Amino acid sequence: MASSPIRETATVAEQDPGPIVQRILLGAALRDAREDKGLSSTEATKKLGWYAGKLSKVEQGDKGVTDKDLAKAVAVYEIAKDREGVLKQLAAEARRKLPPSRVPEWATKYVNLVAAAAEIKLHLSDSFPGTVQTINYARAVLERSVVVSQADVERMAEERTRRVERLISANTRIWLVVGEEALYREIGSREVLREQLEHVRSLATAANVTLQVMPYDGGAHSCHGTPFTIISLIEGRPGIVYTEGLTGSDYLGGEHVRVYNLAYDNLRAAALSPDKTLALINRRIKELT
């Protein structure tokens, strides 16, 4: 049985990234244990005595496990004793409750994943994503949302501005590719857009941040009409793809992650280099002054 995924899980757990992330890590460890045992999802479900669909939810991190559930999985997958304790700790911490966050309920998982990420790859065509927004830019975006209460706009905008500060201080690797339209769409006002551009220009000076722009004249590329984020919790592991709509979000794993990573690599190759991107941003800032 492969031991590295569970050892890596222990390392992340020691950083206490939060119950949602720990639930995802536990699910990934159990999936790896099942695959190492050579069991299909159907075979494992039968041996575990779980209802149809429960195993999938557990492995995706959408459902926690009881001590009884975990003990059954340990027996069926023949997980070694020295790693059973790590999984028990994760299962217990994954059941902890956190204070409600100032984001829509369906976005809570994303916020916790980003907070625990080792690497984040973001792509958005027409604007800058929440992870790198200034408070005025975030406020302007949130005020036009049809799913965010006006009473929550200010607190959510403040949380967005703190998010990137935490990522920078934690030395999280951040890759950001935006369409050139993001440099021209005056969200809030010309002044707000200029402030936002100055902000991302400043962020790009950090050693762990790479900023690129896909220019108008760049032609076709691999990610048309597909905003997404790839979140890697552990360096060298495939990660999770996050996509979002107006009323909900989706988390993709497995083969989806490979495809999105390939598309992102192609996107970065087609985009302007970081130096040319900064030159373009500097010209745009001057135009807005």
Comparing 174 with 18, the larger pLDDT belongs to 174
pLDDT in tens, 8-48: 333 333 344 457 777 877 888 888 889 889 999 999 999 99
Residue 112: pLDDT above 70?
A: yes
Last residue of a domain, one of 72, 94, 116: 94
Residue 190 pLDDT class (50, 70, 90 cuts): very high
The 3-class SS string of 75-91 reads HHHCCCHHHHHHHHHHH
Q: Which DSSP letter does residue 236 get? A: T
Domain that holds residue 17: 4-94
Which residues have a Cβ under 8 Å from the Cβ of 88 and sit 6 or more positions away? 67, 70
pLDDT in tens, 63-90: 888 999 999 999 999 998 888 888 888 8
Average pLDDT value for the chain: 85
State whether 175 and 89 are in the same domain.
no
Residue 207 maps to a domain: yes
pTM strictly above 0.85:
no
The closest alpha carbon to 272, from 264, 280, 282, 283, belongs to 280
Residue 104 pLDDT class (50, 70, 90 cuts): low
Domain count, the chain: 2
Last residue of a domain, one of 44, 63, 94: 94
Residue 3: pLDDT above 80?
A: no
State whether 89 and 154 are in the same domain.
no
| CATH number of the domain encompassing residue 197 | 3.30.870
| CATH number of the domain encompassing residue 83 | 1.10.260.40
pLDDT in tens, 129-166: 999 999 999 999 999 999 888 998 999 999 888 888 88
State whether 145 and 244 are in the same domain.
yes
pLDDT for res 6: 33
